[in-house]
Amino acid sequence: MEQHISPRTLYRLPWNFADNAISWLEPTSMCNLYCDGCYRENHQGAHLSLEEVQRMLDVFEANRKCDGVSIAGGEPLTHPDIVEIVKMVKKKGWKAIINSNGGLLTMELLKKLKAAGVDGFTFHVDSGQKRKGWTGKNELELNELRLKLATMLDDVGGISCSFNATIYPETMQYVPALLKWSQEHIDKVHVMVFILYRMAILGKDFDFYVGDTQVAFDDIMYSKNDDNRRTDVTSPELVDLIRTEYPDFMPSAFLNGTEKADSYKWLLTGRMGNKHRIFGYTGPKFMEIVQAGHHIFNDKYLAYSTPAMQRKGRLFFLLAPFDKGLRKVAANYFKSLFTKPAAFFRRLRFQSVMIIQPADMFEDGRINMCDGCPDITVWNDELVWSCRMEEQNKWGQNIRAVPRSKPAEKEELVTAEPLMPEDVAAK
């Protein structure tokens, strides 16, 4: 029977503004590619100095517990001191995860980054990028590039490999096949992340304000005057699509929205298997034990696991008494000895699947952000949402969206008779 997701059946990740698994460092806003739907303006040569990077890391240390730091941008590999930046993150005692499109990664640079202590890469690869030699390729054709990058990390060893992709309405159809590909390469690919396409559509009836001053929003990267594509695809919709390939697919943990408790802004799934079979999915109690246990022993929530830990799938069975999902995994695994021996004798691995549903704008102008978002960065020594950094750069704060009044409503506002004291008393 298909299971439905709800705040009552999933584990609400305990991450919050001050105590989180990850923080987001942007040492540059320069990029070597254009990506459809990108939220950051590309400034050539806009690299922060190491002193400025150190200041941002100090702000994180003073205001936010974290296990890892995502080094992003822009394209972080354009920064001439990226190796030194990794060392600076490691010196603070954090995992260093580079968020990159991978276009500038060479084996020589990778080995230097490994020596500096890099823990992982999250490669952004999708068909919305203008990438030399790959423009016009669909998501499945891009798997050749994904495998090349994953193999580079695997050859060096000990580095977590994640892929993320912006999912547009026209590319949703490829998501089940992408997960099938990642299963086939579960020994090299540790995390798959799907980021749903979002854009502020200015043709809709909103005005934008900073304080009480109306501002023009049409030159912000994440705005368009019109868009014929959907900008409201939700995480549960993607779950339903994934179930066409994996009927038992079941998330176990989530982050809700700041304005809507049952909106699934980060939806995390842990699946266990190998290239022959996915045996099942970890449940909410497994995620709770992992997050709470890591915090008890390390005083911070867990970000990325090491490749060595993710390939020790059978070790996770120790938690099966506490987690229904793991008990099902174990049952399916041991049954496979008789039904599918090739799957049983292949190493059991853990792989994460994340669906991210970025900011949603409601009809009343409220903007539903990710409550407990890991992608919080530093601007002017303050912690801010990285996905809305262009508003900070332009106005020093996030805008407010105010619905425009309809003409009929304006007429009523002008012609309505004022209430007299006796009317108020009568009411």
Give the chain's domain count: 1
Compute the average pLDDT of residues 166-187: 97
> 127 forms bridges with which residues in the sheet?
none
- Please state, in angstroms and rounded to a whole number, the distance separating the CA atoms of residues 406 and 395: 28
Please provide the average confidence, as pLDDT, over all residues in the chain: 91
What six digits make up the tokens of 37? 């739907």
426 pLDDT above the threshold of 60 = no
Residue 173 lies in a domain: yes
Model-level pTM? Answer: 0.92
Phi, psi of 208 (to 5 degrees): -120, 135
29: domain range? Answer: 11-410
Q: Examine residue 266 and state whether it is found in any structural domain, yes or no.
A: yes
Q: How much of the chain, in percent, has pLDDT values that exceed 70?
A: 93
Residue 311 belongs to a domain: yes
Residue 208 has pLDDT above 50, yes or no: yes
Distance CA 314, CA 311 (A): 9
Asked whether residue 421 is domain-assigned, the answer is no
Is the pLDDT reported for residue 425 higher than 80?
A: no
Residue 419 falls within a domain, yes or no?
A: no
Q: Is residue 213 part of a domain?
A: yes
Overall average pLDDT of the 381-410 stretch: 84
- At 143, which CATH number? 3.80.30.10
pLDDT of residue 416: 39
**pLDDT band at 406, cuts 50/70/90?**
low
Identify whether 6 is part of a domain. no
- Judged by DSSP in three states, 329 sits in helix
Higher per-residue pLDDT: 200 or 315: 315
Letter string b/e over residues 128-137, b meaning 16 or more CB atoms within 10 A of that residue's CB? bbebeebeeb
Q: Which residues contact 161 (CB under 8 A, 6 or more apart)?
A: 120, 121, 123, 149, 150, 153, 154, 188, 189, 190, 191, 307
CA–CA dist 119, 281 (Å, integer): 25
Domain membership of residue 157 (yes or no) is yes
Pairing label, strands 11-12, 22-25: unpaired
Looking at residue 1, its pLDDT comes to: 44
Residue 319 and residue 326 in contact, taking contact as beta carbons nearer than 8 Å: yes
